[in-house]
Amino acid sequence: MVQKPIAIIGGGIIGLFSAYYLLESGEKVVVIDKSSGNEGCSFGNAGMVVPSHFIPLASPGMIEKGLKWMLDSESPFYVKPRISLELLKWGLQFYKNSNQKHVDSSVPLLRDLGLISKLLYHDLAHKLKYSYEEKGLIMYCKKQNTLDEEAHVAELANKIGIVAKVLDKKSIHKLEPEIRPEVAGAVYFPGDAHLNPTELIESLKKYLVDKGVVIKHNSELINIQTVGDEITTLEILNDEQKEMLEVGNVVLAAGSWSGILGKMLRLNLPMQAGKGYSVSKSQVPNKEIFIPNILVEARVAITPMSGRFVRFGGTMEIGGLDSTINMNRVRGVIKSVPEFFPDYALDVPKKEEVWYGFRPCSPDGLPYIGHSGAYKNLFINTGHAMMGISLAPASGKLIAQQILGKKTEMDLNGFSAQRFGN
């Protein structure tokens, strides 16, 4: 009997790691990717592996901050006004989940998922040959009240087993002697890590293809065929040619497009695309940035990458799958850097130098990982928002374990794809 492949819908980092762990278990895998393979939300991101990010986006105070930021065209957050029932429903769910009870239940889930991922990245770095460094993460706070808030996060981090240190300016300058940040203080998470996402994705794809995984680029799922409660065939459009692919199991890992495809698959996956931007610059002689960091008030992430360049990224623009580049948002990222590093000047880039990607945002800030509840052979792995790179290996391993009927390394109930109803 011919083994039917497990089909993974989505060729981003979540889909690729899902493919990796299924392949390592001896499964036949095909990846269906609507892009050319040279784009996606992970290529230009900050490459941070951050177990320190254990508080979900939906948390107390985010609504108030978001409303304030929307009045500033260069702010870190923006919701593009538009008539959309889906956006309204998502916003109401976000509001309902922005409470302390939700945060308390989410913290151990995100912590464990992040720690599993970090361990997997550490173990895979030699095998997949990508640069991986454990230099930690510094959260720079320009204002004292912000530092006080981050110090509370550090206190919680230490309680749940993630090392965090509150730093004064003198300690910061020892860690970053060349850029000498002008801030009230910082919180340092020495256990965090970073990598070059382009290296990771290219090496992972090469490994998969060399081992027999078929990756169908420029391919779009347009229909499904079912028998009872089981998906039997996927109808794919590839360069205007239709293909009927018989499948065993199916994994939906299509990032910000998952909500749209979910409707075809009888799923209710509330999802909004949060557009983020990044710009990459060469390291400046005698002004080198050594440790990945986040400028807290500006919500800007800065990562020194292999190849002696630095990536500056930020913003969360909820505006649908709109491919236009909002240069006001980009200027906001660039202008914030000298506010924290006074001697570090950046020119506003040309539009063609700006990368953007869509982060798939669920309304409670948690990914969807697990069985779909719609078809017996359909599984979900999506909704990781800004944490796709950070959480990808753990998410891929967990979904593979569930598909294969193995005991998962952590309970997946909190990530249920059915938590917002059918």
Among residues 56, 14, 151, 80, the alpha carbon closest in space to that of 317 is found at 80
Average pLDDT, the chain: 93
**69 contact partners, CB below 8 Å, separation of at least 6:** 75, 76, 77, 78
Per-state percent for the chain, helix, strand, coil, to nearest 5: 35, 25, 40
Nearest C-alpha neighbor of 400 from the set 219, 220, 213, 257: 213
- Are 59 and 107 spatial neighbours (Cβ–Cβ below 8 Å)? no
* Spatial distance between the Cα atoms of 312 and 47, rounded to a whole number of angstroms: 11
Strand 378-382 versus strand 250-252 pairing type: parallel
The reply to whether 6-42+200-270+364-415 and 56-99+127-191+272-361 are identical in fold is no
Looking at residues 110-121, what average pLDDT do you find?
98
Which CATH architecture best describes the domain 6-42+200-270+364-415?
3-Layer(bba) Sandwich (3.50)
**CB-count burial class (<10 Å; 0-12, 13-18, 19+) for 67:** exposed
Query: Sorting pLDDT into bands at 50, 70 and 90, what band is 334?
Result: very high
3-state secondary structure of 404: coil
Nearest to 113 by CA among 420, 394, 378: 394
Average pLDDT of the segment spanning 187-215: 96
Quickly tell me which residue has 């989505």 as its tokens: 10
Q: Three-class SS of residue 78?
A: strand
Among residues 168, 161, 163, 191, the alpha carbon closest in space to that of 49 is found at 191
- CATH architecture, range 56-99+127-191+272-361: 2-Layer Sandwich (3.30)
Distances (CA, A) of 57 to 97, 133, 193, 214, 366: 10, 26, 21, 35, 8
Length of the chain: 422
Dist CA 78 CA 66 (whole Å): 7
Residue 45's contacts (CB-CB under 8 Å, 6 or more residues apart) are: 197, 276, 278, 311, 313, 357, 386, 388, 389
**Model confidence over 250-305: pLDDT tens digits?**
999 999 999 999 999 989 999 999 999 999 999 999 999 999 999 999 999 999 99
Which residue in the block uniquely carries the two structure tokens 């409670």?
364
**What confidence category does residue 37 fall into, taking pLDDT thresholds of 50, 70 and 90?**
confident
Split at pLDDT 50, 70, 90, the class of 322 is confident
For 198, phi and psi rounded to 5 degrees? -65, -45
Comparing CA positions, the residue from 282, 272, 257 lying closest to residue 319 is 272
At 41 the pLDDT is: 55
Q: Output the DSSP codes for 59-72.
A: -TTHHHHHHHHTT-
Domain locations along the chain: 6-42+200-270+364-415, 56-99+127-191+272-361
Q: Which residues pair with 63 in a beta bridge?
A: none
- CB 11, CB 32: distance < 8 Å: yes
CA 84 to chain centre: 24
User: What would the pLDDT profile of 353-398 be if each residue is shown by its tens digit?
Assistant: 999 999 999 999 999 999 999 999 999 999 999 999 999 999 999 9
